[in-house]
Amino acid sequence: ILNVEQSPQSLHVQEGDSTNFTCSFPSSNFYALHWYRWETAKSPEALFVMTLNGDEKKKGRISATLNTKEGYSYLYIKGSQPEDSATYLCARGGTSYGKLTFGQGTILTVHP
Amino acid sequence: DAMVIQNPRYQVTQFGKPVTLSCSQTLNHNVMYWYQQKSSQAPKLLFHYYDKDFNNEADTPDNFQSRRPNTSFCFLDIRSPGLGDAAMYLCATSLRQESSYEQYFGPGTRLTVT
């Protein structure tokens, strides 16, 4: 993998469903993996920053895991709510300085 | 609340007419970034400032310039906008120049070139 890739590109779920999406990234020279949530007309908001292989982080109903050896991270949302509707971006830091390489994002729509 | 502010939120400019986008922050962060996001693409870093030190990405066109007169403000100047420069421009800040540090984003400026 040469770039940061996210799948699926878009996802429609019903309220109450649990869902997950994937971020794949080059595993060489890995430094950090970020997840952001970007609601329409608002600022992208940081969810997690992960650096260690095997890291798992949780914030409310949202959690994320990291596998730096194989180059992927999963984001899970348990019991999706309409307010979870947003674009979820992941970004890889491949050097010590703050450059992030973003994926295209997964657009999540949660239907009431 | 401490935040990152971008003005204007929407900017329309004519082909070839210089335009300046503004970013300010109340977080007192020493690093500021400018990203460009074209429709359905990933945000792409254009350049960043670490304090007053300017760091340009190798593939950022010369048409794009930046100024940081003080800690709080950073400007993106597009000298001669082309139709291909229409995009969302995001400003972000972080406390340190390390990719393990969280970046704080503004809401973006959507630029239209006519």
* A97 reaches B (C-beta below 8 A): yes
Q: Per-residue pLDDT averaged across B82-96, rounded? A: 96
Question: Read out DSSP for A79-108?
Answer: S--GGG-EEEEEEEE-SSSS-EEE---EEE
Q: Per-residue pLDDT averaged across A11-39, rounded? A: 95
Rounded CA-CA distance A19/A110 in Å is: 10
pLDDT given at position B96? 85
Rounded CA-CA distance A23/B39 in Å is: 20
* A96 reaches B (C-beta below 8 A): yes
The answer to whether residue B1 scores a pLDDT higher than 70 is no
Q: What percent of chain A has pLDDT over 70?
A: 97
The answer to whether residue A96 scores a pLDDT higher than 80 is no
CA torsion, points B21, B98, A74, A76, in degrees to nearest 10? -70
* Nearest CB to B99; choose among A41, A42, A95: A95
pLDDT given at position A94? 81
- Three-state DSSP at A26 gives coil
- Three-state DSSP at B51 gives coil
Residue with tokens 């048409």: B63
Q: Per-residue pLDDT averaged across A68-95, rounded? A: 96
pLDDT tens profile B12-23: 999 999 999 999
Pairwise CB contact (< 8 Å): A93 & B100 = yes
Question: For residues B100 and A32, is the Cβ–Cβ distance under 8 A?
Answer: yes
Confidence of residue A53 (pLDDT cuts 50, 70, 90): very high
Q: Supply the DSSP symbol for A64.
A: E
